[in-house]
Amino acid sequence: MHTPGPRRPWLYDPSLGGVLVRAHRSPVAGAASSVVSDVVWGDVLAVLRWAEATLTCPPELTGGTAWRTAAASAGMLRRLPGLCRETGVAWPGPAPASPAGEVPAVQRLRTAADRLAVRLCSPEEGVAGPLRDSLADLARDVDEVGAAAIALLAEGADWTAAR
């Protein structure tokens, strides 16, 4: 699972991360909408950082980083309904996920993180205002990152010790 170096070195550049987060602000949004947008996309950036750490860390650290990835995903999903209320947007919940089938957890995590990275790097998603467009799809992608991180933990668990 360990790969040499991060696939996305830009994730760890604090100045670029801030630019990507702020790029999702609507040009006509007020202060509250801009703050909510920054919180949402800042959370997406944090989830991506943990997912990337999980995918690239030494094997002995995978358990801890996978837990943090799942926790970051769950934390963001827990905050989204309240953030929606603050901006007057109905919370649709995550869009239904496609069945994972027999895909290995590491591949599921990589695929979900890739989808989330494309969203973060596509500021046109936020031009209609925070949480207006594709909120259910964003929530589904965050949920899938968390689910894949948990699946990675389950794959690495020693189930014989549970007896």
Q: What is the pLDDT of residue 88?
A: 81
Band (5; pLDDT cuts 50, 70, 90): low
Provide the percentage of residues in the chain whose pLDDT is more than 90: 45
Q: What is the rounded distance in angstroms from the CA atom of residue 34 to the CA atom of residue 144?
A: 26
pTM reported for the whole predicted model:
0.86
Task: Report pLDDT for 132.
Answer: 62
Q: In angstroms, rounded to a whole number, what is the distance separating the alpha carbons of residues 83 and 138?
A: 14
Which has the higher per-residue pLDDT, 30 or 78? 78
Instruction: Give the separation between CA 104 and CA 42, rounded to whole angstroms.
Output: 28
Q: Smallest Cα–Cα separation from 130: which of 26, 45, 30, 31?
A: 26
Amino acid at 78: R
* Residue partners of 65: CB distance under 8 A and separation at least 6: 50, 53, 54, 57
- Is the predicted pLDDT of residue 163 greater than 80, yes or no? no
Tens digit of each residue's pLDDT (9 = 90 or more) over 81-97: 998 888 788 888 888 87
Written as six digits, the tokens of 54 are: 């999980």
